[in-house]
Structure 1
């Protein structure tokens, strides 16, 4: 079951006694639990009708005992149980012992007044486990959106916040934030306040206001080089140097990005979709999309050559055989040519 289907069923009043939520997109997971609380618990009851447990410190037995205890004053209660790692293949730390078979027993006669939401901090569950198989119908993955879904999400959020994007500015925002919904949400709130109701966010505004990490700046720098926007690429480089970022670190991040481009190119040949590549490499799907676009400019042999040049540059910078800034500038100029 995906989170949209689960939310629709909850909206219709079809609520499961247990949900198992997992995946890296924690923003969507929080949105889902917030929606569940909004639908089931009246505001005046929320202080005492919502329980929170950390299963790294609390046993499953206590969670199930709470679920079977009548709610105080409220018709329903919600129990949020974080760190439910016994749904995965990870070894338990041993600090707290859990008995998942008791959850299976509970499900045979689950309390009508309780909803347990297990939150699993992992990208996948261990589908070999009986507990995972038994709760398959109420297991909800929260995975990063693909590029198209992200763009639609950004556009909808802009409508909700009563502003619009100039052409290409929404794509630029996604590129600058890396596609994570938490970062996107925070930056969109900032942009909304800046342009005001009915305002328009331009690429220049995104450029001036959106916060970018060093890794993201290097990602954008390479994209600018690939697209022959040299002035912008060198402007980003000099900004990084002004921020006291070490040229050696920048070289390592550039090498990392070109390794990703090469991996994406090779996986694409094997027929992997961008979503599958994201899972294989451990990246956000939007980063895979951009890497695939960057890879169109290079053959695999050329990418291997670039990585070899970067390894040589790294050695020369560390041994003092070339001025660090000059060496980096010369490499980028050769790359652009």
Structure 2
């Protein structure tokens, strides 16, 4: 079952005995655990009816023993064990041995008073493994993958609606551009927006620009967007702000080069017939970031992007070898782009 279906079933009281929550979006994994906790365990019982374990330190045998032990002063218990790397293709570097036959046996006859949740931060499980096949057949797998572009925007708007305010048209997309696609970060920024605008308010893009905490990577992204749009005055203003904040010019060059390299990769893969979803998987980016990069890349020929990357490589060398003043080098690079 997918993540959304799992939440719907939990809300209806259709609780499975075992969940394997995996994926790169840890926020969704934690939300699944929170929903189960709220549905199963009264607040006053959670101190002794919710057990948490780390499978890099605790064996699956010990976790299953806990699952099979009757709950203390409670009708049901929730057992959550993180770090189930043994379900993936990655090498398990932990010193703990896990008896996976014991887990397979538990699946056949799970304790009716326990809900067991195993989590792992991995995009895929290794379906060649017998235990993963068994878990899949039992319907225990719950993938918690990153949200697609439309889902991400919808999620931001829903979080705002839950808080009691709204985003002006285009502002939700702008928030994602400013902060990236991490739901954890976006959730915190939505909370900040609510504290600023209050119940019933509508927050605009201009207000977001003053309110949202942006990483240096997001500032570089915005500067590159100004460059792509040939808004050179804004690009120089953003560069000046980065330098005022004591950001290292060489780091700025590296991050600018990264963005142009992504544009070139996206352009190349698009020309080869890859979809944006496939490109995102291929180069390890969120589909929303790929969409933005595709729009930016559309304004350049591949040869031009290659030339810009060569210029940035040369600038990096000149900076590191002391052949040019770092700030002057950055400014000259922008001027050449404008020309």
Fold-level similarity (TM above 0.5): yes
**Cα distance in structure 1, aligned partners of 2:234 and 2:172:** 18
Question: What residue number does 1:24 align with?
Answer: 24
| DSSP-derived class of the 2:16 partner | coil
**Cα distance in structure 2, aligned partners of 1:204 and 1:141:** 36
Q: Please say if 1:33 is aligned against 2:18.
A: no
* 8 Å CA contact 2:57, 2:94 repeated in 1: no
Question: 283, 290, 296: which one pairs with 2:285?
Answer: 283
**Cα distance in structure 1, aligned partners of 2:75 and 2:278:** 43
Question: 129, 147, 150: which one pairs with 2:152?
Answer: 150
| DSSP-derived class of the 1:79 partner | strand
**Cα distance in structure 2, aligned partners of 1:159 and 1:194:** 15
Question: What residue number does 2:253 align with?
Answer: 251
* 8 Å CA contact 1:178, 1:284 repeated in 2: no
Question: What residue number does 1:292 align with?
Answer: 294
The change in CA–CA distance for 1:231 and 1:200 in structure 2 (over 3 A counts) is: farther
Question: What residue number does 1:118 align with?
Answer: 118
TM-score by length of 1: 0.96
Computed over aligned residues only, the root mean square deviation of the Cα atoms, in angstroms, reads 1.4
1:273: how far off?
2.6
Question: 265, 268, 280: which one pairs with 1:266?
Answer: 268
**Cα distance in structure 2, aligned partners of 1:13 and 1:202:** 39
- Provide, for residues 207-255 of structure 1, a one-character-per-residue CA deviation record: whole Å limited to 9, x for no partner: 1111111111111110121122323222221111011111111111111
**Cα distance in structure 2, aligned partners of 1:104 and 1:167:** 50
The change in CA–CA distance for 1:8 and 1:267 in structure 2 (over 3 A counts) is: same
- Provide, for residues 81-110 of structure 1, a one-character-per-residue CA deviation record: whole Å limited to 9, x for no partner: 011111011222251111111100111111
- Provide, for residues 55-89 of structure 1, a one-character-per-residue CA deviation record: whole Å limited to 9, x for no partner: 10001100011111111121111100011111011
Question: 318, 326, 332: which one pairs with 1:330?
Answer: 332
| DSSP-derived class of the 1:317 partner | helix
**Cα distance in structure 2, aligned partners of 1:156 and 1:4:** 14
| DSSP-derived class of the 2:57 partner | coil
TM-score by length of 2: 0.96
Give the total of aligned pairs.
337
Q: Please list every run of 5 or more consecutive structure 1 residues that lacks an aligned counterpart in the other structure.
A: none
Q: Please say if 1:202 is aligned against 2:204.
A: yes
**Cα distance in structure 2, aligned partners of 1:225 and 1:101:** 57
| DSSP-derived class of the 2:81 partner | strand
**Cα distance in structure 2, aligned partners of 1:94 and 1:219:** 38
| DSSP-derived class of the 1:71 partner | coil
Question: What residue number does 2:10 align with?
Answer: 10
Question: 214, 219, 230: which one pairs with 1:212?
Answer: 214
1:28: how far off?
1.3
| DSSP-derived class of the 1:287 partner | helix
1:155-234 maps to which residues of 2 (within 5 A)? 155-234=157-236
- Higher alpha-carbon deviation: 107-116 or 326-335: 326-335
* 8 Å CA contact 1:29, 1:142 repeated in 2: yes
